[in-house]
Structure 1
């Protein structure tokens, strides 16, 4: 993930860099705007040009260094793909071992396949095994990973590395599915409330209007918004009047009459009139961006049922070990006792609960309804009466004639 960065040209408060690697526009721009002293950042994928407006005292070296640090965020994003490695490795080795053991290959080939499968099962489950063992040593009790680790070693003890590989495969797929569902939920929320405005009309000296990128708008600038356009910033109207649809911000479907001295918010739509706005907040500081951020963070709020699931799963660990001991006590058959450990149903209790809640929030967001956390999903399941104070909460707010009699 290495890429070169060089200064194309620089003026006091304005610097253009050229980057050799093509980057995600929104990611690099958001990253740069988080640096103190940077007012705006605009990246062009085609030319690899990164234009930055910043405080005149900001050194180019610190800016360049900060851009280089961006590659670490790329590595972190790439790390998510590393979770797929155990799936690929376990699945491939399992199929190869299954084929070789059932074919007429020499014994040495089968033995080699057996040991490769054993090594793969342990190496791909290293993090799970480590967490399970450390949890026992520190907390004096097992967790779901402890049982998974025991299941893997039980399979290996019974000389069945295939079962160990399948356990690793299913466990990793479950975790990836949960992570994917969570990320999709955040994506849907962002898509529902995104600003979706690239340009704005900034008023220059002598009242001349110029079309500029929204990223180039700074606090204190004056922008003009015309009928039908989205308001790109948070600010105060200094001239003009009209009606603004603020449903994306307040949930109120009825347009609001706005005029001089009124506050307006990014994401609102000016349905009629035209206004001149003094910019107070831009980019990540706008109310819309903060709402999106709060909603994304809210998805990590745990519902009570998730805590119950975790508690049940934790208490089921000793039960599983107890069943294994009882099986051995009554049957005196070690293989049967070990089989009780291989039947690992604890992870399913934890992962399925979280995945179902994330999926519910994601589906709601896809349909245009925003849910502020998993705990609200659980509360909604217990509702039998819903009282609404305004129809715009659940409807389009645009009544139509369905039938004339």
Structure 2
């Protein structure tokens, strides 16, 4: 239990003293991200030295007691090492501006009384980095400020400090707004979940789950709570928490977390943390891993920035050696490329991520943007992407004499109601439409990406694809080829039913092509996509017919779930940069394998977690928007780099020639940095 002292509070703001912070030097950044992920928290400020924590929040969503309870439950021993940057406030900006104004009116060295306290932290920070034998922009800032103080030029020192602080504040404000928006978007969707009450299974909405409820979960189900497994074994995909896509085995007694998914197996879980309490860690981890992950260009600009610090130091040394003019040296040291290079790129990424989110596209970090501009091949999984996925039963065909069509549909619906797949829901809806009775059956086993198993009259009942029944379960199809062929040529989806190792019937379902599909695919070609690929389980003839209608270049027909990732890998070996668009549990490997994975709006939790991009609106136009935003972001970043290089080179040259005094050099350099940041900031509202 963490000992908390409430130092001050009023609705919407509370300040704690948290003594345990002193014992965990690197935990503050992790704690801050965890608190920001709580729905309703607006801002968090942590002063580790003072063991102080200030939280601003929405009083309609949270109260002081909830926040205090949340803090008491946090285990800082589990904290990951996330750097906590100093958070600049409006108060500091105002104080620095007042300090700058005071230097205009205070005579001579009296200006030191207001200047030195305000610049001390910047100089100390630079000295600390230099003591660690590192050369970074903070060292350059510290030297420039120190030279200004040495010369008694407090006006320039305070002007530089004010501009540096203002630039950092603007960058942090943009990051904070982007993170808060994405945290809101990552709040879990309300879904259906089976729970057990009085030994009966009932279906409820996930936001209605209460503590100590028993959840019944199978493959493909998202775990909506934190809790222990009461019975069963499963492979749990924890990518949303750990970033690791390889599922882990969990059995009775193990702890599972909200936002993770059951990939294989069946388990019963007792709910111990529900709602906001159970989702905080997942959202915090998403923000930490996705938005903090540096792209290639961020790494490049970071290296460029660090190298430019050395160039500035070298130019300053050369100027001093040639002229012995300390004013010129100070003017040179007040110019560095690194501020504009280091700040503009992450601000541009955050701005474009913010804009994309407002347009219905969730981009998971700068890497997604950077990779998107390289894409030349788009692979579409047909169902739920090019089609709406709103399946409708068109035919119910009995292949034995023991059942009629209504009995077969009732049997299938009674089993399929335990699955949330669109095919399953279509069958259940058809049974409800015809007011068919529920058929008693045994426990349901969901075989991921294949089908369902149960028992009827103590004999095995299997529902699924032909591939599953024929290749995995040894069911004989040879007497029904003609019937199957006729239906498949119509492009229908077929679900087969076997009982006691005999094929007893099939259910045909039809899907509806998205009205915007042709327009979007042609739009992708205009945007430089060279190859459009259709991946479907349909037979070759209907697949070719659809491809011709949509202008698709390559077709992979009769593709099994296992084929999807292999097809992506095959295209990549040919040199293609692949964007894979999918929506199902069995799309997750392909989404991970592709250069960019994009999940549709109504896709499964697993698809959305493994994808780099998630569409927040149910149409294909988001793919075009995503590419447009990504290209615009990279154009902005590259032009910012060129602008910073050209302008700062000119300023440094003028400073070295003695054409600029230190004050003018500081004003021009920092003005350039602010201009580049403002240019990046403006992109979020364009």
Same fold (TM over 0.5): yes
- TM-score by length of structure 1 reads 0.57
CA distance in 2, matches of 1:354, 1:204: 50
Q: Which digits, 9 at most, give the CA deviation of each residue in 1:200-235, with x for residues without a partner?
A: 99997699999998474444169xxxxxxxx99479
Partner of 1:133: 127
Q: Which digits, 9 at most, give the CA deviation of each residue in 1:15-62, with x for residues without a partner?
A: xxxx9864679969969xxxxxxxxxxx9989977699xxxxxxxxxx
| 1:39-78 superposed matches below 5 A | 66=72
Question: Conserved in 1, the CA contact under 8 Å of 2:123 and 2:146?
Answer: no
| 1:34-183 superposed matches below 5 A | 66=72, 83-98=89-104, 100=105, 110-111=107-108, 113-123=110-120, 126=121, 128-139=122-133, 141-183=134-176
- Asked whether 1:371 is paired with 2:593, we answer no
Structure having the higher Rg: 2
**Measured at CA, do residues 216 and 173 of structure 1 come closer, stay the same or move farther in structure 2, by a change above 3 Å?**
farther
Partner of 1:3: 6
- Asked whether 1:387 is paired with 2:390, we answer no
Partner of 2:510: none
Q: Which digits, 9 at most, give the CA deviation of each residue in 1:122-177, with x for residues without a partner?
A: 33xx1x323322222322x4211110111111222332212111222222222223
Deviation, structure 1 residue 187: 1.6
Question: Conserved in 1, the CA contact under 8 Å of 2:305 and 2:342?
Answer: yes
Partner of 1:345: 337
CA distance in 2, matches of 1:144, 1:48: 40
Which shows bigger deviation, 20-29 or 87-96?
Answer: 20-29
- Asked whether 1:301 is paired with 2:300, we answer no
Task: Give the unaligned 5+ runs of structure 1.
Answer: 5-18, 32-42, 53-62, 71-78, 102-109, 223-230, 236-248, 250-264, 267-277, 400-405
Any idea what SS the aligned residue of 1:387 has? Answer: strand
CA distance in 1, matches of 2:340, 2:13: 36
Q: Which digits, 9 at most, give the CA deviation of each residue in 1:236-281, with x for residues without a partner?
A: xxxxxxxxxxxxx9xxxxxxxxxxxxxxx98xxxxxxxxxxx8766
Any idea what SS the aligned residue of 2:294 has? Answer: coil
Partner of 2:318: 326
Deviation, structure 1 residue 295: 5.0
Across the aligned residues of Structure 1 and Structure 2, the Cα RMSD in angstroms comes to: 5.2
Question: Conserved in 2, the CA contact under 8 Å of 1:147 and 1:341?
Answer: yes
Count residues with an aligned counterpart: 301
- TM-score by length of structure 2 reads 0.36
Question: Conserved in 2, the CA contact under 8 Å of 1:136 and 1:142?
Answer: yes
CA distance in 1, matches of 2:70, 2:187: 29
CA distance in 1, matches of 2:74, 2:295: 39
CA distance in 2, matches of 1:345, 1:202: 59
**Measured at CA, do residues 347 and 202 of structure 1 come closer, stay the same or move farther in structure 2, by a change above 3 Å?**
same
Task: Give the unaligned 5+ runs of structure 2.
Answer: 15-33, 40-58, 77-84, 217-221, 227-239, 241-257, 260-267, 387-580, 582-599, 601-614, 622-686
Any idea what SS the aligned residue of 1:370 has? Answer: strand
CA distance in 2, matches of 1:114, 1:209: 72
**Measured at CA, do residues 45 and 80 of structure 1 come closer, stay the same or move farther in structure 2, by a change above 3 Å?**
farther
Partner of 2:656: none
**Measured at CA, do residues 214 and 95 of structure 1 come closer, stay the same or move farther in structure 2, by a change above 3 Å?**
farther
- Asked whether 1:357 is paired with 2:349, we answer yes
**Measured at CA, do residues 48 and 204 of structure 1 come closer, stay the same or move farther in structure 2, by a change above 3 Å?**
farther
